[in-house]
Structure formats: C-alpha cells, structure tokens
C-alpha cells in the first residue's frame, strides 16, 4: 500500500516512498515561503490602499462581473485538477487523465483571458501602475498571481508531454501531485485577492 495518501507508487520500493514523502514535504515548505511573498504583497496593498494620489480608484476601474466569472473558473479548475490527480492515483488510462488535464488547462486559459481583458480595460481607463502607489500595489500583486497561474499551466503541459513519453511513472505522479498543491494554493490566493482587492475596495 502507498504510504502517501495522494498517490500510488511502485509497491515494492520502500526508499522511493520515503523520497516521495520528502519531496512533497519539501514542496509544502516551498509553498510556505511563497505564502510569505503573497502575504507581504497583500500587506503592502492594504497599506497603500489610500495612496490614490488623485488618480482613478477602485470604483472607476474594477468590474465585479468579470472578476466573479474569473473566480468561478478558477474554483472549477481546482475541481478538475483534483479529478486529474484522482484518476492518476487509481491508475486509470491516460485518456481519462488527459481529459481532466485538458479541462484544467482550458479553464486556466479562460481565467487568464478574462483577467487580461480586465487589465486591458484598467489601462484604458488610466489605471496604470505609474499613476499611483495604490495602482502600483495592485499591479504587483494581481499580475504576480496571473504569472503563477501561467507557470502552473506550463508545468501542466510539461507533465502531459511526460505522460506521453514515459507513461504514468513515479516522477510524473509526483509532479502532478505537487502541481495540484500549487494549483489549490493559487486558488486560495485568488480568494484572498477577490475579497481583499476587489470586494474589500468596492465594499
């Protein structure tokens, strides 16, 4: 039996399990340092929320409708990537895995497109980072999340290619497991952005 709840590795090879546990633990620790980065950017954002410097404010720039759609997209993608890792744990065929991975990728892409649209409309209305301290804080925090999502999507593609080449070997499994951790983490960060940046400012 697997000693790690998230995946099924080669049953015969005990050291591989130890290494897997260490690897995933290490990734959690890494995520912890990322939490600090985002935490500080949130704090900076809150500290600078009054620094409008006469420029446009949240009411002029934010569209809650698209942000709500983005939230939904990202939440659903968390579900689909969860399904992908479940399908890998139970060692279903590659096709099923690809369907879930593909769905996740599509949802991520849709999320990013909506977000790019938001950014473009902000720029159109004069909400550029050089305009005020508040806008600087916004543009450091939210696009960094988008950058994380893009990186996670690239990782997802790499994993998909590796499945094609190597099949569902333990490296691929560990990769997907860590990607899932990252993806859920980005979901949580987004919920922070949704409540603090968007709802908080408009409320």
Partner 1 sequence: MTLHQFLDTAFGRLGWDALPFWEIVRHPHDGKAWLNGLIASGAASLVVFGALAVVVMLTRRRWWRSLWSGWLTSVDHKKIGIMYVILALVMLARGLVEATFMRAHQATALNDTGFLTPEHFGEFFTTHGTIMIFFVAMPFLTGLINYVMPLQIGARDVSFPVLNSISLGLTAAGAALVMVSLVLMPFSTGGWSGYPPYTERSFNPGAGPDYWIWAVTLSSLGSTLTGINFSVTVYKERAPGMHFFRMPLFCWTALCTSILMIFAMPPLTVATALLALDRYADFHFFTNDLGGNMMNYANLFWLFGHPEVYILILPAFGVYSEVFTTFSGKTLYGYRALVLATMCIAVLSFGVWMHHFFTMGQSAELNAVFGISTMLIGIPTGVKIFDWMLTMYRGQVRLTVPMIYALGFIMLFVIGGTTGIVLANPSVDYQVHNTLFLVAHFHNMLIPGTLFGMLAGYTMWFPKAFGFRLDEIWGRRAALGWIAGFVLAFFPLYGLGLLGMPRRLHAYVEPAYLPFTVVALVGTLLIVAAFACLCVQLWVSVRDRDHLSVRAGDPWDGRTLEWATSAPPPEYNFPVVPTVESKDPFTHEKLDGKALQSPDDWQDIEMPRNAALGLVLGLVGFLGCFGLVWYMWWLVVLAALAGLGAVIARSFTRNTTKTISADEVRAQYMEWLENVRALPLTVRSQESSRANNGRAMPVMKEQQ
Cα atoms in the 13 Å half-sphere on the side-chain side of 121:
13
Identified binder of partner 1 from the candidate list 9, 20, 41, 122, rule CB under 8 A: 41
Helices marked H in the chain: 14-47, 58-61, 64-89, 94-124, 133-166, 170-192, 200-202
| Cα separation, 62 vs 197, whole angstroms | 10
Among 71, 85, 132, 180, binds partner 1 (CB under 8 A): 132
Contact 94, 163 (CB under 8 A): yes
Give CA–CA dist 177/84, Å, rounded.
10
User: Which stretch, 29-37, 71-79, 118-126, 178-186, contacts partner 1 (CB under 8 A)?
Assistant: 29-37
Distance in Å, CB of 158 to partner 1, minimum: 6
We find the least distance from the C-beta atom of residue 53 to partner 1, in angstroms, to be 4
183 scored as a contact of partner 1 (CB under 8 A): no
Residue 195 binds partner 1 (CB under 8 A): no
* Structure-token pair, residue 137: 């804080």
User: CB of residue 45 vs partner 1: minimum separation in angstroms?
Assistant: 11
- Whichever of 102 and 133 has its CB closer to partner 1, that residue is 133
For residue 164, what are its two tokens?
Answer: 């094609």
CB of 68 to partner 1, least distance (A): 28
Q: What percent helix, strand, coil does the chain show, rounded to 5?
A: 80, 0, 20
Nearer to partner 1, 11 or 147 (CB): 147
Show contacts with partner 1 in window 94-113 (CB under 8 A): none
With left for phi above 0 and alpha for psi between -120 and 50, is residue 119 left, alpha or beta? alpha
How many residues interact with partner 1 (rule CB under 8 A)? 42
Q: Is 56 in the site for partner 1 (CB under 8 A)?
A: no
Q: Is residue 58 part of the contact set for partner 1 (CB under 8 A)?
A: no
What CA dihedral angle connects 35, 138, 154 and 39, to 10 degrees? 0
Is residue 32 near partner 1 by the rule CB under 8 A?
A: yes
Candidates 64, 120, 158, 164; binder of partner 1 (CB under 8 A) is 158
Q: Does 46 bind partner 1 (CB under 8 A)?
A: no
With contact defined as beta carbons under 8 Å apart, do 190 and 71 qualify? yes
Regarding 133 and contact with partner 1 (CB under 8 A), the answer is yes
Contact in structure between 121 and 113 (CB atoms under 8 Å): no
């Amino acid at each position: 039996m697997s000693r790690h709840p998230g995946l099924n590795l080669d049953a015969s090879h005990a050291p591989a399990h130890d290494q897997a546990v260490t690897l995933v633990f290490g990734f959690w620790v890494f995520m912890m340092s990322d939490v600090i980065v985002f935490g500080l950017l949130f704090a900076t954002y809150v500290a600078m929320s009054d620094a409008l410097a006469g420029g446009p404010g949240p009411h002029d720039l934010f569209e809650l409708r698209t942000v709500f759609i983005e939230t939904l997209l990202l939440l659903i993608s968390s579900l689909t990537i969860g399904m992908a890792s479940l399908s890998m744990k139970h060692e279903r065929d590659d096709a099923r895995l690809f369907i879930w991975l593909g769905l996740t990728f599509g949802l991520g892409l849709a999320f990013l497109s909506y977000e790019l649209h938001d950014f473009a409309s902000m720029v159109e209305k004069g909400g550029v980072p050089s305009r005020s301290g508040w806008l600087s804080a916004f543009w450091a925090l939210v696009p960094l999340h988008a950058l994380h999502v893009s990186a996670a999507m690239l990782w997802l593609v790499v994993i998909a290619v590796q499945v094609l080449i190597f099949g569902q070997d333990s490296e691929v499994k560990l990769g997907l497991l860590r990607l899932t951790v990252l993806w859920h983490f980005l979901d949580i960060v987004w919920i922070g952005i949704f409540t603090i940046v968007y709802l908080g400012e408009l409320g």
